[in-house]
């Protein structure tokens, strides 16, 4: 489980996002409030005050300029700018922000009948009021919101903590450590709600069912291995004894030979199924195996089985490939692929080439189409008009084994011109041949 997908981290990100949004809204609110105070209150009030003063001046020229706690007015001759206060000189009509002897002020300049009015508004008082009646309540509101978000985060964390503990416990379960798994910690998480208890009980029942299934699989594998090998051994010994006799005719000898081959194939198939039925690879006896020797051995077997066909079996190598695996597994993979190539080739050649960590098997048989390649790995699938008998499980079994042992496996079909099969062994060791003369055909019929 990636850390970015953990439930508690997602909950923490949601809490941080909530706090960030609240803070952003607060900052935007402060700027909007400052804009409203200056533009909607101060500027608007100064404009109305100037209009009111000039209206009174038109009625009574002796009307004095405004003079209050926050607003002071100055009237001068507009043409005599030298008589204006120094901080007001050169100011055009409109609104200006200045620093005056009383502090930061907003100055409104207006003209009427050759007279100029300067209205100086003390913005400090308004800002103090805005602080007391705006920012302080906003700060209190933010504290309440932050506290509520933190409390909600803690409550949510406590609510999902049993689920997180349950997930960690299930993750840490070792199904291979013991037959009796510690289900007590799963079934009763501390402080869990009814929904989590329902989930934990379902997991407990699931683990119990898995335990029973694994036990049945072990018993079946053990008993099947014994019960199948015993009669196969008897059949093989009996056929060998029959073939060793000199007083049997050719027909009986051919029948005994078929029985022996069928028993050998059945034994190999049984071993393959038992290997695939195992859950892990820890119980497989792995050795450092020479792939070249396995290929030579399987070529010899194919010569015996398909000796009556007009097929040339060619083998070439550029070096030795050493694979860490079970000899049975490697023999099953190589044998199935080679027998499959020989089975679908009536005349022509079957060549096996071993290069650096790669085995290529090419035949000149009937070939296979792209659509058939997609279906050929399915169990019990057989190529249409196949002349050889079989059950259609060879390539399916090979595919499962190569996937299990991380051996990339590819088939390239050329309908009417043959098939190319390539198996790669990425983790194998390669020893190149010092003598190029090894790159020759090994056998042919």
Render pLDDT for 156-169 as a digit per residue (tens, 0 to 9).
777 777 777 777 77
Question: Which region among 190-199, 319-328, 378-387, 401-410 has the lowest average model confidence (pLDDT)?
Answer: 378-387
> Is 80 part of any domain?
yes
pTM for the model? 0.51
What domain range is 364 assigned to?
285-438
Mean pLDDT value across residues 333-355: 90
> Is 170 part of any domain?
no
H helix runs in 94-135, sequence order = 123-130
Last residue of a domain, one of 122, 142, 162: 142
> Is 66 part of any domain?
yes
Angle among Cα 271, 275, 281 to the nearest 5 degrees reads 145
Residues 99-141: tens digit of each pLDDT = 766 667 888 888 888 888 888 887 776 666 666 666 677 778 7
Mean pLDDT value across residues 287-307: 88
> Is 112 part of any domain?
yes
> Is 363 part of any domain?
yes
Mean pLDDT value across residues 419-426: 93
Angle among Cα 404, 407, 412 to the nearest 5 degrees reads 120
Residue 432 has pLDDT above 60, yes or no: yes
Cα–Cα distance for residue pair 58/302, rounded to 1 Å: 124
Residues 75-99: tens digit of each pLDDT = 888 778 777 877 788 788 888 887 7
Angle among Cα 95, 93, 128 to the nearest 5 degrees reads 20
Last residue of a domain, one of 142, 176, 211: 142
Considering its fold, how many domains does the chain have in total? 2
Mean pLDDT value across residues 48-54: 87
Using the CB atoms, write b or e for 399-423: b if 16+ within 10 Å.
Answer: bbbbeebebebebebeeeebbbbbb
**Res 283: pLDDT:** 53
Mean pLDDT value across residues 138-146: 80
Bigger pLDDT: 179 vs 88: 88
**Res 101: pLDDT:** 67
Sign of torsion, CA 35 37 42 44? positive
363 contacts 312 by C-beta, under 8 angstroms: no
Cα–Cα distance for residue pair 271/431, rounded to 1 Å: 30
Residue 296 has pLDDT above 80, yes or no: yes
Q: What is the CATH number of the domain that holds 55?
A: 3.30.450
> Is 163 part of any domain?
no
> Is 160 part of any domain?
no
Cα–Cα distances (Å) from 94 to 34, 48, 53, 55, in that order, read 19, 13, 16, 18
Q: How confident is the model at residue 191 (pLDDT cuts 50, 70, 90)?
A: low
Burial class of residue 337 (count of CB atoms within 10 Å of its CB; 0-12, 13-18, 19+) = buried
Among 403, 391, 262, 259, CA closest to 329 = 403
User: SS3 for 358?
Assistant: strand
Q: What is the CATH number of the domain that holds 370?
A: 3.30.565.10
Q: How confident is the model at residue 147 (pLDDT cuts 50, 70, 90)?
A: confident
**Res 3: pLDDT:** 44
**Res 440: pLDDT:** 45
Last residue of a domain, one of 142, 165, 188: 142
> Is 218 part of any domain?
no
């Amino acid at each position: 489980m990636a850390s970015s997908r953990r439930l508690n981290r997602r909950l923490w990100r949601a809490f941080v996002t909530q706090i960030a949004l609240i803070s952003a809204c607060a900052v935007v609110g402060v700027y909007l409030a400052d804009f409203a105070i200056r533009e909607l209150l101060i500027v608007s009030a100064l404009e109305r005050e100037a209009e009111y003063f000039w209206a009174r001046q038109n009625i009574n020229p002796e009307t004095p300029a405004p003079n209050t706690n926050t607003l002071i007015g100055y009237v001068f001759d507009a043409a005599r700018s030298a008589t204006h206060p120094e901080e007001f000189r050169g100011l055009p009509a409109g609104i200006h922000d200045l620093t005056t002897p009383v502090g930061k002020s907003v100055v409104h300049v207006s003209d009427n009948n050759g007279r100029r009015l300067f209205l100086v508004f003390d913005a400090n008082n308004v800002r103090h009021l805005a602080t007391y009646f705006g920012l302080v309540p906003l700060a209190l509101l933010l504290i309440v919101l932050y506290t509520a978000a933190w409390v909600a985060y803690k409550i949510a964390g406590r609510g999902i903590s049993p689920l997180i503990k349950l997930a960690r416990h299930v993750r840490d379960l070792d199904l291979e450590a013991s037959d009796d798994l510690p289900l007590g910690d799963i079934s009763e998480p501390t402080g869990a709600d009814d929904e989590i208890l329902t989930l934990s009980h379902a997991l407990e029942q699931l683990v119990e069912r898995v335990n029973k299934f694994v036990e049945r699989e072990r018993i079946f594998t053990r008993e099947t291995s014994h019960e199948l090998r015993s009669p196969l051994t008897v059949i093989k010994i009996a056929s060998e004894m029959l073939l060793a006799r000199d007083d049997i005719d050719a027909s009986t000898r051919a029948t005994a030979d078929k029985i022996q081959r069928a028993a050998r194939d059945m034994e190999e198939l049984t071993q393959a199924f038992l290997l695939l039925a195992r859950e892990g690879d820890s119980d497989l006896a792995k050795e450092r195996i020479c792939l070249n020797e396995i290929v030579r051995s399987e070529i010899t077997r194919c010569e015996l089985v398909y000796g009556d066909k007009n097929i040339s079996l060619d083998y070439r190598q550029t070096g030795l490939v050493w694979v860490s695996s079970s000899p049975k597994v490697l023999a099953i993979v190589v044998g199935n692929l080679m027998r499959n190539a020989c089975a679908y080739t009536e005349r022509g050649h079957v060549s096996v080439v071993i290069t650096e960590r790669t085995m290529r098997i090419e035949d000149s048989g009937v070939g296979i189409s792209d659509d058939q390649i997609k279906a050929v790995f399915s169990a019990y699938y057989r190529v249409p008009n196949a002349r050889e008998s079989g059950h259609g499980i060879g390539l399916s079994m090979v595919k499962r084994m190569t996937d299990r042992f991380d051996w990339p496996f590819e088939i390239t079909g050329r309908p009417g011109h043959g098939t190319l099969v390539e198996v790669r062994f990425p983790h194998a060791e390669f020893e190149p041949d010092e003598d190029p003369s090894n790159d020759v055909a090994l056998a042919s019929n």
